[in-house]
Amino acid sequence: MTSLKDVAALAGVSPSTVSRVINGTMHVSVATRKRVEAAIAEVNYRPNLLAQSLRLQVTKNIGLLVPEIAHPSFNLVIKYIEKSASKRGLNLLICNTENDYRREAQAIDMLLRQRINGIIFSRVSDESHVTSMSRSSNTPMVVIDRAFHNEKIPNVILDNYHAGVLAAKHLLACGCTRIATITGSFKIGLSRERYQGFRDTIEKSGLECDPALVHEGEFSFENGVAGVKEFLTKGLKFDGLWGQNDLIAAGAIATLMRNGIKVPHDVAVMGMDDVQFAAMYYPTITTIAQPYQQLCEKAVDYIDKLTNEECIDPFQVRLKPSLVVRESTQKENNLF
């Protein structure tokens, strides 16, 4: 591959002059500039970013770690991180951790060897682990989507308590009086927070929050199915249901319908995240939207700021979710 030296030889100038033309770092006389540009075009010269990064001690690459690439919400995270990064001329290296802390460690190590500019963690698997990796390097890091307490690593998260509040308020406004919920694992803080906001709001309204109508499990379609099956098997009645993400909600809706229970006519169901298929389901799914775009934009912004050694303030951003009303909770417009 042609190098800067080749271009210089062709144009009859020194390598530094070519460098100056390319980077516009200093004034170069018009005549030589023309000659250099002609030479560059002639040999189709492409600067070697490896050499440049080595010399400058900076790269234009950032790393993104997600637990699972083909998951509708991480999918959106990837999309928006890429968008924000590319807007700033940064390139994205994607790593799938598969929720395995060993793969996570490997990925971080690889990224640090690449001397990338920053790492964004979506849903870190093991806090102490990332912490120890971060200690041995001063590469900018940001954690999104999960509260993370570390004096070096800022986080951009969602106000999950508020998400629970919004969900409960909406179901109450729909006239529901026996409200069920299917949650993610309570080992994960955000599941607990969502549930807390949800429960507090229902109880504040004067209704009780029946523990039997709470099903804890994973953030998956299958868990939505399992939750509804459990409620039905126990013969429990309910007229509203919140799944802590849209996958759960979809599983719940499908299972209710399969059992002859109509959504929203008999049970109003809502989800959370506002992933793409929420608007494509039948019925379309009412949901608590995460501001993914803002969240990702902020994360990349923080990497940028840390790179330039600007200070991060606030150190933990907590974004607000919002309600998106669709068919699955609109009892008045009965679909069936």
Partner DNA sequence: TTGAAAGCGCTAACAC
Partner DNA sequence: GTGTTAGCGCTTTCAA
Applying CB under 8 A, the residues found at the interface with its own copies are 1, 44, 46-51, 53-54, 59, 61, 69-70, 72, 75-76, 78-79, 82-83, 86, 91-96, 109-110, 112-115, 136-137, 221, 247, 250-251, 253-254, 257-258, 276-277, 280-282, 335
**Contacted by 25, from DNA, its own copies, none: CB < 5 to 8 Å by type:** DNA
For its own copies, the closer of residues 203 and 222 by Cβ is: 222
Q: How far apart are CB 54 and its own copies at their closest, in Å?
A: 5
| Shorter beta-carbon distance to its own copies: residue 50 or 311 | 50
Q: Please, which residue, 97 or 201, has the CB nearer to its own copies?
A: 97
Query: What is the biggest distance separating any 2 CA atoms in the chain, rounded to whole angstroms?
Result: 87
Residue placing its CB nearer to its own copies in the complex, 79 or 178: 79
- Name the CA dihedral angle for 121, 109, 93, 301, rounded to a multiple of 10 degrees: 50
Name the residue among 8, 113, 9 with its Cα closest to residue 63. Answer: 113
- 237: partner contacted, choices its own copies, DNA, none (Cβ within 5-8 A by kind): none
Binding partner of residue 17 among its own copies, DNA, none, CB under 5 to 8 Å per kind?
DNA
14 binds, among DNA, its own copies, none (CB under 5 to 8 A by kind): DNA
For the bound state, the minimum distance from the C-beta of residue 16 to its own copies, rounded and expressed in Å, comes to 19
Query: Considering CB distances under 5 to 8 angstroms, the limit depending on partner class, which of DNA, its own copies, none binds residue 20?
Result: DNA
- The residue type at 121: F
Q: How far is the CB of 32 from its own copies (least distance, A)?
A: 24
Tell me how far, at minimum, the Cβ of 92 lies from DNA, in Å.
Answer: 22
User: Helices 72-87 and 292-307 meet at what angle, rounded to 10?
Assistant: 40
Q: Does residue 327 contact residue 278 with C-beta atoms inside 8 Å?
A: no
Taking CB atoms within 8 Å and a gap of at least 24, the contacts of 91-96 are: 91/60, 91/61, 91/62, 92/61, 92/62, 92/63, 92/64, 93/61, 93/62, 93/63, 93/64, 94/63, 94/64, 94/66, 94/69, 95/63, 95/64, 95/65, 95/66, 96/66, 96/67, 96/68, 96/69
E-assigned strand segments in the chain = 61-66, 91-96, 118-122, 141-144, 155-158, 179-183, 214-216, 240-243, 268-273, 286-289, 316-319, 322-324
Contact partner at residue 70 from its own copies, DNA, none, CB < 5 to 8 Å by partner kind: its own copies
Nearest approach, Cβ of residue 108 and its own copies (Å): 10
CB nearer DNA, residue 47 or residue 72: 47
Query: Quick one: 254 or 325, whose CB is closer to its own copies?
Result: 254
CA–CA gap between residue 116 and residue 249 (Å, rounded): 38
32 contact, one of DNA, its own copies, none, CB 5-8 Å limit per kind: DNA
Report residue 179: phi and psi, to 5°.
Answer: -110, 125
Specify the 3-state DSSP secondary structure of 218: coil
What does the alpha-carbon distance between residue 66 and residue 97 come to, in Å, rounded to a whole number? 6
| Residue 314 C-beta: closest distance to its own copies, Å | 28
Tokens standing for residue 135: 């200690």
Contact between 320 and 291 under an 8 Å Cβ cutoff? The reply is yes
Which of the choices its own copies, DNA, none does residue 114 contact, using the CB cut-off of 5 to 8 A by kind? its own copies
The residue assigned the tokens 């409200």 is 179
- From DNA, its own copies, none, which one binds at residue 67 (CB under 5 to 8 Å depending on kind)? none
From the CB of 90, what's the least distance to DNA, in Å? 17
Q: Three-state SS for 272?
A: strand
CB of 169 to its own copies, least distance (A): 27
Binding positions for DNA, rule: CB under 7 A: 1, 3-5, 12-17, 19-20, 22-23, 25-29, 31-33, 47-48, 51-52, 54-57
